[in-house]
Amino acid sequence: MDNMTAEAFLKPRLEALVRDADKAGYSQDVTVALLISLLDTLNFGADPNPPSDQGGAA
């Protein structure tokens, strides 16, 4: 891993995402609010309903 900070890595990508959303007709306020909401609700790969060890589908 290089010495790039997480902020240096993520900021240009987030700025590009907000720019792309603006080009698609979404206001910056809406885009940022939605991103915050998504960050508060997503679990980033952790399965909220893991398969049960007892019974279930094959």
pLDDT tens track for 7-31: 999 999 999 999 999 999 999 999 9
Question: Residue 52 has what pLDDT?
Answer: 66
Task: Report if residue 31 sits inside a domain.
Answer: yes
Confidence of residue 45 (pLDDT cuts 50, 70, 90): low
Task: Report if residue 47 sits inside a domain.
Answer: no
| Structural domains in the chain (count) | 1
> What is the pTM (predicted TM-score) of this model?
0.65
Question: Residue 1 has what pLDDT?
Answer: 59
Domain with 32, as residue range(s), is 9-38
For residue 1, the SS3 value is coil
Distance CA 36, CA 4 (A): 23
Task: Report if residue 1 sits inside a domain.
Answer: no
